Amino acid sequence: MKIFLPFVDLNDNEINDPQVTGGAEKFCRHINDNFETEVYQLPIKSLKYPLKERNRISRDILEKAGECGADIIMSNFSGSIFSGAQLIKSNIPIMIIEHVTYPMLSIIGRWDKARKNGHSVFFVSTAQENKYKMMAKRCGQVLPKSKEYINPSFCMGEKPKIQDVEYDCVTIGRCYRGKDPFKLHRFLKKTDLNGLVITSKTEYDPEPYYEKNKHWNNTMWNKPHDESMDALGKSKTYFSTCDYETWGIGSLEALSHGIPIILSCDKTGIHASENIPASKRHCKTIDKEDKEGLISAINSFEIDRKEVQDMTWEKHNIKAWKSHLIKCFSMTIDNHKKVTMGMSAISSV
């Protein structure tokens, strides 16, 4: 099984750069590390090229995927380069994996056209798919159903040692208002609790949020992944500040270090990361504006961190992750054959 993987990074980092920019980028790294993969790197500025140039890049993707003998083209990003009209002409099945909740209604129409051409669309959680269902309903469009949900990550490498606690709470998130990692510092201000924000800034992140928050102490900026994980492992709890998270790699990383998680929820009271812990005892949810709720949750966790870690590693092991993806690869290829054979039969009548 050979995968052709178009790849773009908000910091223009290569796929194996020590710094991990975000969840989709980390998932692409996992694919590259664990399957036979041909990476096609694009500069971040390509996402803003004129339509004619973006269409040329899509055609180039199809040509290079054919030349390398790819069985699947895997699309992990929302731009038209990765799922637009040019790309879905592909004779190679495309596995579209949506990692975020993209606020543009046009993407639903693109996915539906991709589905009609025999390609497959996957989401990463029920919560994410439900938000797209609401968007599709509002605009009267058809949302392709995700037959399986893709886990963007797993417990990788060697199980880390349980470290002594230096921080009451840590969060990880890019420096922009949507993720709002500095909510942790705002909520813990004027308390005795010690918080750490692990963050990064890209050219795509708006300046006002950065300027407003660059003054905080106890903040790690643009550090390599191993340094970030070492700091994370020294925390008592982890706070997911983003209420519209679609899965939550940061939450998995915390749990894999034996750290229970606190999830910031919108008015539904539901968070996509609730499905990650191996036990409900390893997770608490609070309203996204509930400062006292965060403080209470941090103070209330009295749990065996080794238990949290061991149960997480058992649930999210690499063998299970790879096995499920191979199943989804086969589904993508079989679906493409079925649809294209049906289209050929109709055209021959």
Instruction: Give the integer Cα–Cα distance in Å for 97 and 24.
Output: 9
**If we measure between CA atoms, which residue out of 157, 185, 156, 158 comes closest to residue 173?**
185
Cβ neighbours of 326 (radius 10 Å): 12
CB 308 within 8 A of CB 260: yes
302's tokens: 């009295």
Q: What single-letter amino acid sits at 48?
A: K
Residue 187 exposed, middle or buried by CB count within 10 Å (0-12, 13-18, 19+): buried
Whole-number Cα distances in Å, 25 to 14, 17, 130: 10, 10, 23
| pLDDT in the model for residue 78 | 87
| 155 phi and psi angles, rounded to 5 deg | -80, 115
Instruction: Give the integer Cα–Cα distance in Å for 318 and 56.
Output: 37
| pLDDT in the model for residue 205 | 73
All domains in the chain, ordered by first residue: 2-152+319-348 (3.40.50.2000), 167-315 (3.40.50.2000)
> Strand 283-287's sheet: what is its strand order?
219-221, 195-199, 167-172, 235-240, 261-265, 283-287
pTM of the model: 0.87
| pLDDT in the model for residue 345 | 55
| pLDDT in the model for residue 349 | 45
> Strand 72-75's sheet: what is its strand order?
36-42, 2-8, 72-75, 94-97, 120-122
Per-residue burial over 27-66, b if 16 or more Cβ lie within 10 Å, else e, is: bbbbbbeebebbbbebebeebebeeeebbebbeebbeebe
Task: Please report, in angstroms and rounded to a whole number, the separation of the first and last CA atoms in the chain.
Answer: 34
Instruction: Give the integer Cα–Cα distance in Å for 308 and 225.
Output: 22
Strands of the chain, DSSP E: 2-8, 36-42, 72-75, 94-97, 120-122, 167-172, 195-199, 219-221, 235-240, 261-265, 283-287
Query: Which pLDDT tens digits describe the chain residue by residue (349 residues)?
Result: 899 999 999 889 999 998 888 889 999 999 999 999 999 999 999 999 999 999 999 999 999 999 999 999 999 998 899 999 999 999 999 999 999 988 788 899 999 999 999 999 999 999 999 999 999 999 899 899 888 999 999 998 899 999 999 999 999 999 989 899 999 999 999 999 999 999 998 777 778 999 999 999 999 999 999 999 999 999 999 999 999 999 999 999 999 999 999 999 998 888 999 999 999 999 999 999 999 999 999 999 999 999 999 999 999 999 999 999 999 999 999 999 999 887 655 555 4
